[in-house]
Amino acid sequence: MLTLGTGVGGGFVVKGRPWHGVLGMAGEFGHMTVMPEGPPCPCGSRGCLEQYASATAIKRMAAEVIAQGKSPGLARLAALDSEFTARSVFEWARQGEPAACSIFETVGAALGIALGNLINALNLPLYVVGGGGAGAWEAFSPSLFRELGRRSIVFRAGEPLKSRRKGTTVARSLLQESAGFLGAARLPMLLEAPNCYSTAC
């Protein structure tokens, strides 16, 4: 699962249990490089997924478009809305504003690159995109799937097999913004279970 919010996070579930990694840091998808010469990231790298697919990144890209004079519509919105947010940019994209649509094309392409790498490497059956940012699914998913078609041989190979449930599914979270609350409620039950990752568990 990838979670889109102020940043980009995520996690793996293997055999029904979270997989934490050696340092407990598995799932740092936001710091996968998707554009090697992209904007600097606080992690010390450049072009991280978080610099393209988070709410912070959407707001930054909108500010860049406004500064370049490419979107009078977004400029008016930013001037009138003291709480100018990624959601504001999404609403303009829904109305067909070209610069806002282009920003979400970028979001989708970056997610497609990251997911393509994950699918090629892991060949898991399901990849879920959640968090508050997933509310803009309609704006970024077309470019996400276009990029997956270009980037992931495993995704392409699985497309004819989906009717037999053997392909790769990429979907928006059904729980949306409630996932964190439900996960926190479920955590005590997981902690009571044996800390085991073998096939016997």
Query: Across residues 17-30, what is the average pLDDT?
Result: 91
Q: Name the residue ranges covered by the structural domains of the chain.
A: 2-192
Query: Across residues 130-134, what is the average pLDDT?
Result: 93
Model confidence at 197: pLDDT above 90: no
What architecture is domain 2-192?
Answer: 2-Layer Sandwich (3.30)
Model confidence at 46: pLDDT above 90: yes
How far apart are the C-alpha atoms of 79 and 90, rounded to whole Å?
17
Provide the pLDDT for residue 192: 65
Beta strand ranges found along the chain (DSSP E): 2-4, 8-10, 12-14, 17-19, 126-130, 169-172
Taking only the tens place, the pLDDT of each residue in 97-118 is 999 999 999 999 999 999 999 9
Given pLDDT bands bounded at 50, 70 and 90, which one contains residue 195?
low
Q: Name the pTM for this structure.
A: 0.87
